[in-house]
Chain A
Amino acid sequence: MPEAATSSLTLVPVGWVVLAGAIVLGLAWFAATVDGVATARAEASPTGLGRPLREVARLMRQRRRATVEADTPLWRIGSGGLVVIATLMVIVVPLGPWTVFDSPVGVVWFNAMDVCVWALVWLTGWGPNSAHGLVGGYRFLAHGLGYELPLMFALVAPPIAAHSLRVGDVAAAQHGLWFVVWMPIAFLVYLIGVLGFSVWGPFSAAVGSDIAGGVAAELSGLDRLLFLTGRYALLAAGAAFAVPMFLGGGAGPLLPGWLWVIVKTIVVLTALVLARRRLPVLRPDLFMEVGWLVLLPAALVQVLVVSVIAVWRG
């Protein structure tokens, strides 16, 4: 795979990672508001917009629940790490002409970070020494075994077409025709993967009410706040990464590139958040077969088609 030694993007100083984190938190707030409004509408209650603020205030004042023989360090790492991982995912996404981390293997970096969610969610379930939490942790890993390989192969398709694993190059390779147009299966499988690593909607069995909240059963106060924020932040990071991979990066009329990236991210993020109300929760044991017998072959066929086209175009 020939790789450009340098890219056209402007590398900003590493301190700007604070802004990347702020954008992730802002998008997470937006996602929580969308979910709050949708919930309020479903419950026919008038107060939707203020839900995130009230929930934050409630959790910040809540006393921490302690459990017997808890593995506190691992528990805190698990519940607090999701926001960090979401930020580490987002730093490879170019915001128009700027990027914080212009890695030549940015796509693989994103993939490595989403795998870290496996460890963190399981640790959150393990930490409190609670049966419900542990069951939730294993449910998440079972889902992970189903969605991760299709997700990996979905992420392979755009770099093959762009001849580069650098996220900026993938975005630049889509001038004229966005990858979502001619690799729709990869895009769909990617979105399923994002729902998966965000423990959201169809993949929320790990925090299901049938196991008293599962991974989140014993979480309280700040830890719960960080965990819930982390889920929204992961959705936001997944939506943001879809923009350079499939939706042409900052390309678009009138508005500047960085604004287009945010607009597209918000559109994808809204769709992902609302998917929770449209799709049923998938049982991990049943989804395993769907992942391996439907999604994985579909993603592989997509990669084959993209590879043939890439070779044919030279």
Chain B
Amino acid sequence: MFVDVVFWVMTVVAVVMGAAVFVVDSMARATYALALSFVAVGVQVLLLHQDYVGVIVILMMVMEMAVMAVYMVMFMGMNPALMPMSMVHDKRKALAAASVVFLTLAAGALLIPWPTRRGQPSSDTTRALGEALMGSKMLVMTVVSPVMVATIVAGIVIASKRSRYDRLGDDLRGAADHSADPQRGGVGR
């Protein structure tokens, strides 16, 4: 009963907040409506007894939306992010595409022959889910994660305007003029 109530309340919150993203006229409201929608989905994952995955969904989505608030001011020319603005572009095509995708996914969820439960759920559902998803490819997945981190770091290093050569001079011996450095850094380099 309690689970049913939470499930339906969270369903409504997730869908209404998802729709609100396109209805509101402010970047901040759109960002945090999306965050709330994701948090509701995270709570639904908790209802599946995927405690770890559910809490991580909430954590990541809130953090992601907070960081998005940084980017939306950083990268929006003329800062329309601070003014009321429409959240939709190319309405007709977008509406058609969104409707088709939603109907396809909803039809899939309703029409798929869901299996009935066999046996008991594992005591550690997070581990069971991980093994069901990755199973024999666990080694590949484990290797991929540091490669992905390295890619992100390398991407930032390449994109960064000021590198260690600006900071420390061409021979990296600290010859650069620190007084002219607009980003001195905090560890005294």
Q: Is the CB of A119 within 8 A of B58?
A: no
Task: Judge whether A122 and B59 touch: CB under 8 Å.
Answer: no
B133 to chain A, nearest CB (A): 17
- Residues of chain B with a CB closer than 8 A to A108's CB: 52, 55-56, 59
Name B36-85 residues within 8 Å CB distance of A.
51-52, 55-56, 58-59, 62-63, 65-67, 69-70, 73, 82
B65 and A119 contact, CB distance less than 8 A: yes
- Contact A105 B184, beta carbon cutoff 8 Å: no
| Chain B 114-156 per-residue mask, 1 if CB under 8 angstroms from chain A, else 0 | 0000000001100000000000000000000000000000000
Asked if A288 CB lies within 8 Å of chain B CBs, one says yes
Interface 1/0 per residue, A284-297 and B, CB below 8 Å: 01111110011000
Would A74 and B29 count as touching, CB distance under 8 A? yes
Question: A69: nearest residue on chain B (CB-CB)?
Answer: B84
Which residues of B sit under 8 angstroms from A103, Cβ to Cβ?
51, 55
Please report which residues of chain A, range 138-152, place their CB below 8 angstroms from some CB of chain B when the two chains form the complex: 138, 141, 144-145, 148
User: Contacts A111-B59, A115-B62, A118-B62: A286 and B52 contacting too (C-beta < 8 A)?
Assistant: no
Q: What's the Cα separation between A108 and B63 when bound, in Å?
A: 14
Complex CA–CA separation, A163 to B63 (angstroms): 26
Pairwise interchain contact B66-A112, C-beta atoms closer than 8 A: no
Chain B residues in 8 Å Cβ range of A122: 66, 69
Say if the beta carbon of A275 comes within 8 Å of chain B: no
Residues of A within 8 A of B70 (CB): 138, 141
Inter-chain residue pair count (beta carbon < 8 A): 76
What's the least CB distance linking B63 to chain A, in Å? 5
- Knowing A115-B59, A119-B66, A141-B70, say if A74 contacts B51 (CB, 8 Å): no
Q: Does B186 contact A (CB under 8 A)?
A: yes
Interface residues of A in 257-275 (CB under 8 A from B): none
Which of chain A's residues have a CB closer than 8 A to the CB of B29? Answer: 71, 74
A71 and B69 within 8 A (CB)? no
Decide: B28 and A3 in contact? CB cutoff 8 A: no
Confirm or deny: B26 has a beta carbon within 8 angstroms of a beta carbon on chain A. Answer: yes
B62 touches A286 (CB 8 A): no
Query: Is the C-beta of B35 less than 8 angstroms from some C-beta in chain A?
Result: yes
Cα A115 to Cα B63 in complex, Å, equals 6
Does B113 count as interface, using CB distance less than 8 angstroms?
no
Q: Are B63 and A118 in contact, with the CB atoms below 8 A?
A: yes
Most buried by A among B28, B56, B66: B66
Decide: B51 and A105 in contact? CB cutoff 8 A. Answer: yes
Q: Is the CB of B32 within 8 A of A290?
A: no
* Whole-angstrom CA separation of A109 from B54 in the bound complex: 10
A32 at the interface (CB under 8 A from B): no
In the complex, whether A123 has a CB less than 8 A from a CB of chain B is yes
B residues near A71, Cβ cutoff 8 Å: 26, 28-29
**Chain A residues with CB below 8 A from B32, complex form:** 74, 119, 123
| B1-58 residues at the A interface, CB under 8 angstroms | 26, 28-29, 32, 35, 51-52, 55-56, 58
A141 touching B123, Cβ below 8 Å:
no
Whether the pair A141, B187 counts as a contact (CB closer than 8 A) is no
A116 within 8 A of B: yes
* Bound Cα distance A138, B67 (Å): 10
Alpha-carbon gap, A119 to B63, bound state (A): 7
In the assembled complex, the Cα of A5 lies from the Cα of B127 at a distance in Å of: 13
Verify if B108 is at the interface (C-beta below 8 Å from A).
Answer: no
Q: Is the CB of B186 within 8 A of A288?
A: yes
Complex Cα spacing A294 to B187, Å: 8
**B183 in the interface, Cβ–Cβ < 8 Å?**
yes
> Given known contacts A118-B62, A138-B73, A289-B187, is B51 in contact with A123 (CB within 8 Å)?
no
Closest Cβ of chain A to B56, distance in Å, is 6
| Complex contact A116–B184 (CB within 8 A) | no
- Contacts from B to A (Cβ < 8 Å): 26, 28-29, 32, 35, 51-52, 55-56, 58-59, 62-63, 65-67, 69-70, 73, 82, 123-124, 183-187, 189
Could you pull out 24 A-B pairs where Cβ atoms are within 8 angstroms? A104-B51, A104-B52, A105-B52, A108-B55, A108-B59, A109-B55, A112-B59, A112-B62, A115-B59, A115-B63, A115-B66, A118-B66, A122-B66, A126-B28, A134-B82, A141-B66, A141-B69, A141-B70, A144-B66, A285-B186, A287-B186, A288-B185, A293-B187, A294-B187
Ranked nearest first, the 8 interchain pairs of A and B with the lowest CB-CB distance are A286-B186, A112-B59, A118-B66, A289-B185, A289-B186, A290-B186, A105-B51, A108-B55
